């Protein structure tokens, strides 16, 4: 659909409200504010966002039909002065508003005339066409013009809108796409016949339950009433016992009762402005029938509470993964019923992992000759389920060549590996890290200093077409959540076979780095690493130079509060703290200081190219016990009430951001160097790879019709505030860039990366002798144990190396077309994972705040410095704006907050003591004096706030000024 313009007929949906009218004004640039004005039939206008428009007829008010004057009637007579002025300024005829009602009447007439054809829509597209989705245009052509005319016919606006409204009303058969996409896609998904049958059956039950003896359904078939009685007893018992019910209960849910439960789940998980039959069944047929347990206006929050009280969800359940739209669901997550195959795929992955461990381990003698240990027997030789393997193969991009059913018996690259001998390889990570997949070395040679980044090499054992590889491709990447994690490949493979220090096999990305931080030469080799030293970030920080860490040289009064607090806690001062660290000898200290100096030069070179580092806060959240047990996901026959020993406590604390640690900064720059080396190596040899980049911010703002002049001002202000020595941009100036900051993109050719300071191809000229670091390109290669795209590049690079060594024609496991095909789903899964991580972090953070606030308000918080919050009854809420029995009142915790955005409607802040958790002040909920005070706040100022409302299900934290 075209962009929104004055004169368009639009449908606007906000919550449960639906409006139809003529769009009278739009902002000059794309924004996220309510700055669109639509005039309704009653002669008044509403303010709304572009995302609120779910249907559009472009240029409708300026069309030939609407241009014909009609009797003005109520609409024109009732036009407000403001609306008349808006229409005049947009050159829209005044009488077009009167046409709105005429248009809707015409739509109803068309729908009535074709009512018989409309009734056959679902059967035709579901049973005859056998499609899973339809567009409004496809259905309108079939209804009004039939199959013969569908190739050339173009439905009129009234026919099209009549079809759209019919599909919405038939929500028992059709599910609308996401509201923000409806205007562009106009797509509806056909519900499976079994779901349609369940919805219709549930509606029959709801109607029968309300018929009071007048139902056509026999009394013994009124299963809804039985279900209502059953769950009422569970809810009342759960409340009486404060959730401490025994794990055993006599209640059993029948298969038909799970139909009702699925509707309650849909009402709890999914919020939409479109009609939702599951929500209507759950709210009108079930929750209201349980009055007064859920009040007289139940909704999404009450549906979620009910699922917890009847033992379908744990009281602390993270429902983020269930709430995601179809586009952002992660169907590979086992244990949640996210797909019909996730559990089988995960089980098969574990079996294949055990099979790999049962095979011989690759080690190398001192002369570099490969030794293969005798195969073990612990893992056996499990039978691979062919049906699961075939299913996985259908969902992934198959590599070149036949399917490999066995792991490599010998390392394919044994003859071309570079042996680094006793050169120390420093693996620097957190004490809790399990995947030790990267290490660094420095090598001083007559030609200059080389930095080597050694990466774990699972591709030494796994062929690209092995079922374990295909399963890893389907899972795409590991997912780490506070309550549990979902590895791309079985965890034990990292710990027992692949980790550096466990395996001698690596692939090494090397660069000779000049004094100016530019890359003078590069190399990539499969390698042998023998002398691996595992050390921790905090220990390495003790022996590195803090002079180039942001804020260290500032006066305490010039630092932001969180920077000052972190640096004071670390006793950070310019220079080094000490000359020894756990796990390092004198030579190790010398090597890491040399590595830091070299990487600081490389960072400075990127900053000169426009790179930057944001001053972002970080939060560490952990849940104990870990991992949390899975809640039974698929039609549990009995209610699930977790054993008390599994009730989780939550720990939350502000974490040191990477840019405030010399060791983190050094390791991060090494990983960037490896990605750039890989890109240069692939570019020079035309090896298919997935390049990652980020468009230039101003160009992106222009292409998206954002206010690029404001973007330029924000960028100039950020550059002016940027610390020239460290490249860090303070929090507030950087936050001003975020509305214009483009997302990362992937491509088959090298592209620039704006925030990293990696130039685009147009900004460089590949001439002999030029500095290699000015070349474009960045490829992710440093995490093959948790990212499949890294494995793809490893396999392809090795294929080229082996072909060169053997003087044969190179055959890539993933040719260019295959890389292009696989890049899209991998990027999609990466986005889904990021969204899930963010929502999950928000869930546990808001739950932690809720618990802490209730404990403080009830005098049960032992100390304000406590970071571990025990379980608190999920029914106790924090909401100072309502008077209900379970709203806990009293004095809570006072927080320091940084003001990040001020507007007429809402003021956004971050809670700095909690690592930057976002919260908002809504003046409408406060007093008049607070409303005035909010308008006087300045962005970047520090204030004191108290918690006013916490909504864990929505991830909302509201605060008030103190």
| Cβ–Cβ under 8 Å, residues 338 and 321 | yes
Instruction: Kindly list the domain boundaries of the chain, sorted by start residue.
Output: 195-313, 697-742, 839-961
pLDDT tens digits, 439-478:
999 999 999 999 999 999 999 999 999 999 999 999 999 9
Say how far residue 175 (Cα) sits from the centre of its chain: 23
| 520 vs 605: CA distance, rounded Å | 13
Q: What is the 8-class DSSP label of residue 365?
A: -
Question: Given a cut of 50, is residue 750 above it in pLDDT?
Answer: yes
**Quick one: pLDDT at residue 923?**
67
**Quick one: pLDDT at residue 795?**
98
| 104 vs 810: CA distance, rounded Å | 65
Question: Given a cut of 50, is residue 845 above it in pLDDT?
Answer: yes
pLDDT tens digits, 620-652:
999 999 999 998 877 889 998 888 888 999 999
- Number of helical H runs and strand E runs in the chain: 28, 32
**Quick one: pLDDT at residue 382?**
61
Q: What is the 8-class DSSP label of residue 272?
A: -
pLDDT tens digits, 563-616:
998 999 899 999 999 999 999 999 999 999 999 999 999 999 999 999 999 998
Which range has highest mean pLDDT (186-195, 402-411, 754-763)?
A: 186-195
CATH number 2.40.50.140 given to 839-961: yes
Q: Encoding tokens for residue 40?
A: 């309704």
The model's confidence at residue 771, banded by pLDDT at 50, 70 and 90, is very low
The model's confidence at residue 930, banded by pLDDT at 50, 70 and 90, is low
**Quick one: pLDDT at residue 403?**
86
Which residues, 6 or more positions from 716, have their beta carbon under 8 angstroms from its beta carbon? none
Give me the mean pLDDT over the 734-756 stretch. Answer: 93
Question: Given a cut of 90, is residue 503 above it in pLDDT?
Answer: yes
| Cβ–Cβ under 8 Å, residues 23 and 37 | yes
Question: Given a cut of 90, is residue 830 above it in pLDDT?
Answer: yes
Enumerate the β-bridge partners of residue 528: 419, 505
CA angle 891–894–896, rounded 5-degree value: 170
pLDDT tens digits, 225-277:
999 999 999 999 888 887 666 666 789 999 999 999 999 999 999 888 999 99
The model's confidence at residue 706, banded by pLDDT at 50, 70 and 90, is confident
pLDDT tens digits, 479-495:
999 999 999 999 999 99
**Quick one: pLDDT at residue 19?**
96
Nearest Cα to Cα of residue 199 among 232, 175, 183: 175
Three-class secondary structure of residue 484 per DSSP? coil
Question: Given a cut of 70, is residue 769 above it in pLDDT?
Answer: no
Mean pLDDT, all residues of the chain: 90
Percent of the chain with pLDDT over 90: 75
pLDDT tens digits, 530-562:
999 999 999 999 999 999 999 999 998 888 888
Give me the mean pLDDT over the 405-432 stretch. Answer: 95
**Quick one: pLDDT at residue 933?**
63
**Quick one: pLDDT at residue 928?**
52
Lowest mean pLDDT among 118-122, 152-156, 854-858: 152-156
> With left for phi above 0 and alpha for psi between -120 and 50, is residue 173 left, alpha or beta?
alpha
Q: What is the 8-class DSSP label of residue 298?
A: -
Question: Given a cut of 80, is residue 926 above it in pLDDT?
Answer: no
Which residues, 6 or more positions from 679, have their beta carbon under 8 angstroms from its beta carbon? 689, 691, 750, 775, 776, 777, 778, 779
| 352 vs 467: CA distance, rounded Å | 8
**Quick one: pLDDT at residue 932?**
57
Radius of gyration of the chain (CA): 31
Lowest mean pLDDT among 14-18, 146-150, 733-737: 146-150
Q: Examine residue 198 and say whether the peptide bond preceding it is cis (omega within 30 degrees of 0).
A: no
Nearest Cα to Cα of residue 690 among 774, 610, 613, 795: 795
Nearest Cα to Cα of residue 653 among 622, 628, 624: 622
- Go through the chain and tell me how many residues it has: 962
Question: Given a cut of 90, is residue 381 above it in pLDDT?
Answer: no
The model's confidence at residue 768, banded by pLDDT at 50, 70 and 90, is very low
pLDDT tens digits, 159-191:
999 999 999 999 999 999 999 999 999 999 999
The model's confidence at residue 376, banded by pLDDT at 50, 70 and 90, is low
């Amino acid at each position: 659909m075209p962009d929104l313009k004055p004169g368009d007929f639009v449908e606007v949906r906000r919550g449960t409200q639906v409006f139809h009218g003529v769009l009278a004004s739009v902002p000059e640039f794309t924004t996220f504010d309510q700055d669109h004005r639509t005039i309704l039939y009653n002669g008044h206008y509403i303010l709304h966002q572009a995302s609120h428009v779910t249907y559009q007829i472009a240029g409708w008010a300026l069309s030939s039909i609407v241009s014909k004057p009609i009797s003005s009637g109520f609409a024109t007579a009732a036009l407000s002065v403001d609306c008349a002025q808006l229409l005049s300024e947009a050159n829209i005829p005044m009488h077009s508003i009167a046409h709105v009602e005429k248009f809707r009447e015409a739509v109803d007439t068309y729908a009535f005339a074709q009512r018989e054809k409309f009734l056959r829509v679902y059967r035709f597209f579901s049973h005859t066409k056998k499609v899973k989705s339809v567009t409004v245009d496809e259905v309108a052509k079939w209804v009004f013009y039939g199959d013969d005319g569908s190739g050339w016919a173009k439905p009129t606006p009234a026919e099209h809108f009549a079809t759209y409204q019919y599909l919405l009303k038939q929500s028992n058969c059709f599910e609308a796409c996401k509201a923000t996409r409806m205007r562009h896609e106009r797509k509806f998904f056909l519900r499976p016949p079994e779901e349609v049958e369940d919805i219709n059956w549930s509606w029959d039950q709801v109607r029968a339950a309300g018929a009071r003896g007048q139902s056509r359904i026999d009394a013994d078939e009124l299963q809804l009433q039985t279900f209502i009685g059953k769950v009422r007893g569970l809810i009342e018992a759960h409340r009486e016992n404060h959730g401490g019910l025994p794990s055993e209960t006599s209640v059993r849910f029948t298969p038909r009762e799970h139909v009702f439960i699925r509707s309650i789940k849909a009402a709890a998980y999914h919020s939409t402005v479109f009609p939702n039959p599951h929500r209507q069944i759950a709210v009108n047929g079930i929750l209201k029938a349980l009055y007064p347990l859920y009040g007289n206006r139940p909704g999404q929050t009450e549906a979620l509470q009910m699922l917890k009280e009847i033992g379908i969800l744990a009281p602390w359940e993270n429902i983020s993964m269930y709430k995601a739209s179809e586009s952002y669901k992660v169907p590979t997550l086992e244990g949640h019923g996210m797909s019909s195959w996730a559990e089988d795929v995960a089980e098969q992955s574990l079996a294949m992992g055990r099979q790999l461990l049962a095979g011989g381990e690759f080690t190398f003698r001192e002369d570099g000759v490969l030794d293969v240990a005798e195969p073990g027997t612990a893992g056996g030789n499990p039978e691979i389920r062919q049906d699961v393997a075939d299913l996985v193969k259908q969902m992934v991009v198959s590599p070149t060549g036949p399917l490999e059913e066995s792991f490599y018996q010998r390392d394919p690259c044994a003859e071309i590996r570079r042996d680094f001998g006793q050169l120390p390889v420093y693996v620097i990570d957190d004490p809790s890290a399990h995947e030790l997949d990267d290490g660094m070395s420095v090598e001083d040679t007559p030609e200059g200093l080389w930095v080597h980044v050694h990466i774990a090499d699972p591709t030494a054992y796994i062929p690209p077409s092995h079922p374990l590889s295909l399963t890893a491709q389907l899972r795409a990447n590991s997912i780490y959540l506070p309550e549990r994690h979902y590895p791309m490949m079985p965890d034990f493979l990292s710990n027992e076979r692949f980790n550096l220090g466990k395996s001698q096999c690596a692939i090494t990305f090397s660069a000779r780095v000049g004094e100016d931080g530019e890359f003078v030469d590069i190399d990539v080799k499969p390698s042998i690493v023998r002398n691996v030293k595992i050390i921790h970030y905090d220990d390495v920080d003790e022996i590195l130079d803090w002079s180039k860490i942001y804020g260290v040289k500032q006066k305490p009064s010039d630092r932001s509060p969180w920077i000052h607090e972190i640096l004071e806690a670390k006793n950070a001062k310019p220079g080094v703290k000490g000359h020894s660290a756990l796990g390092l000898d004198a030579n190790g200290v010398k090597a890491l200081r040399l590595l830091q100096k070299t990487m600081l030069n490389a960072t400075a070179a990127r900053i000169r190219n426009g790179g930057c580092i944001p001053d972002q806060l970080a939060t560490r959240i952990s849940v104990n016990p870990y991992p949390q047990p899975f809640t039974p996901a698929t039609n549990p026959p009995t209610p699930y009430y977790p054993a008390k020993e599994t009730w989780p406590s939550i720990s939350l604390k502000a974490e040191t951001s990477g840019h405030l640690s010399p060791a983190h900064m050094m390791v991060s720059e090494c990983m960037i160097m490896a990605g750039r080396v890989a890109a240069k190596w692939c570019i020079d040899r035309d090896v298919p790879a997935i390049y990652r980049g980020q468009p230039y911010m101003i160009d992106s703002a222009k292409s998206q019709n954002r206010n690029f002049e404001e973007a330029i001002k924000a960028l100039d202000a950020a550059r002016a505030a940027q610390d020239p020595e460290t490249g860090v941009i303070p929090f507030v100036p950087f936050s001003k860039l975020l509305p214009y900051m483009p997302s990362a993109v992937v491509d088959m050719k090298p592209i620039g990366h704006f925030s990293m300071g990696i130039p685009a191809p147009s900004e460089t000229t590949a001439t002999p002798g030029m500095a290699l670091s000015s070349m474009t390109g960045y490829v992710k290669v440093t995490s093959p144990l948790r990212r499949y795209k890294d494995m793809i590049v490893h396999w392809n690079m090795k294929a080229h190396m082996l072909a060169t060594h053997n003087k044969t024609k190179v055959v890539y496991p993933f040719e260019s077309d295959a890389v292009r095909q696989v890049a899209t789903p991998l990027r999609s899964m990466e986005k889904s994972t990021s969204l899930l991580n963010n929502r999950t972090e928000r869930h546990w953070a808001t739950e932690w705040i809720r618990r802490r606030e209730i404990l403080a308000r009830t005098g049960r918080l032992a100390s304000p410095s406590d970071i571990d919050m025990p379980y608190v009854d999920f029914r106790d809420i924090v909401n100072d704006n309502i008077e209900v029995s379970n709203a806990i009142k009293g004095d809570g915790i006072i927080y320091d907050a940084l003001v990040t955005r001020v507007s007429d409607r809402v003021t956004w802040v971050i809670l700095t003591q909690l690592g930057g958790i976002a919260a908002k002040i809504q003046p409408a909920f406060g007093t008049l004096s607070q409303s005035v005070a909010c308008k006087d706040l300045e962005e970047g100022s520090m204030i004191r706030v108290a918690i006013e409302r916490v909504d864990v299900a929505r991830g909302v934290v509201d605060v008030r000024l103190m």
